[in-house]
Amino acid sequence: MRALSRIDHYRGAGRLSLRAETRLMMTAVASISSLVLSDPQALALLLSFSALYAVAETKPKTLLIAYLFMAVMCSVALFCVWLLGFVFPIIRESSLSMAISPFLRLAVTMNAILPLALNSRLTDLAMALGRLHLPGLVRLPLMVTIRFIPTILNDMIQLREAVGIRFRGRKGFLFWLSHPFTWWRVFFQPLIVRLIRSADELAMAAELKGLEPNTEFGGSPLPFSTHDRATMLLAALAMVLSGLAQILVGAHAGR
């Protein structure tokens, strides 16, 4: 169905040709490491490794759009925190590391999950999750969630084109900056409605394709390539160096 196959516009470069298991492992390692680490310097080091992985597996334009979208979300979050500071003064007394760490974790996770969502076919992803012996009730929601990411990107570009047609000749940055409520009405409100509908379409498409929670996928896995082994080694190196940075910074602060 269209809901499960409209990924082509943002399909990543995939220069490494990694297996789906390797991309799943990279996503899991990045997510767990970003939760364990708390120091901004250690998270920044982990972010640099994840950025190398994302650049090698994702189109630059797609990566730029994702970072711009994340920057907007982070700006809104910081603005809300600033407003809460007037109600709860203790928030203003928070350290800089507490303010930066959540956004660094978000960037690390995004760098890891974009190659998985944009470069992995549905069948490869389903077989990889099945070989990991995950419960069926976990596999189906996970597949739908991962496929939801390229759906968001496609919906955004379609709405942007529709807005460009409707407001032809008034697409300048200054126009939208001076009309924020118009931007909200013609772009963000339809985007929210489309995302809710797309989520239903993805779940229905998965069920119609036979991806029930108890579905078993056959087929023998391909052997791990040199790129797969090098990527796993890079992930292990990133974990070790980031952990050491966390320990060294903590020891230095304790003096």
**36 in a structural domain:** yes
**Cα 121 to Cα 51: distance, rounded to the nearest angstrom:** 22
**144 in a structural domain:** yes
pLDDT single digits (tens) 45-90: 999 999 999 988 888 888 888 888 888 888 888 888 888 878 877 7
pLDDT at residue 194 tops 50? yes
**252 in a structural domain:** no
Between 4 and 132, name the one with better pLDDT: 132
pLDDT single digits (tens) 78-89: 888 888 878 877
Between 91 and 216, name the one with better pLDDT: 91
Segments forming the whole domain that contains residue 86: 2-247
Between 29 and 99, name the one with better pLDDT: 29
**64 in a structural domain:** yes
**255 in a structural domain:** no
**254 in a structural domain:** no
The total number of structural domains that make up the chain: 1
pLDDT single digits (tens) 135-160: 767 777 777 778 777 777 787 777 77
**174 in a structural domain:** yes
pLDDT at 221: 60
pLDDT at 108: 92
> Which is nearest to 1 in space by CA: 189, 161, 211, 155?
211
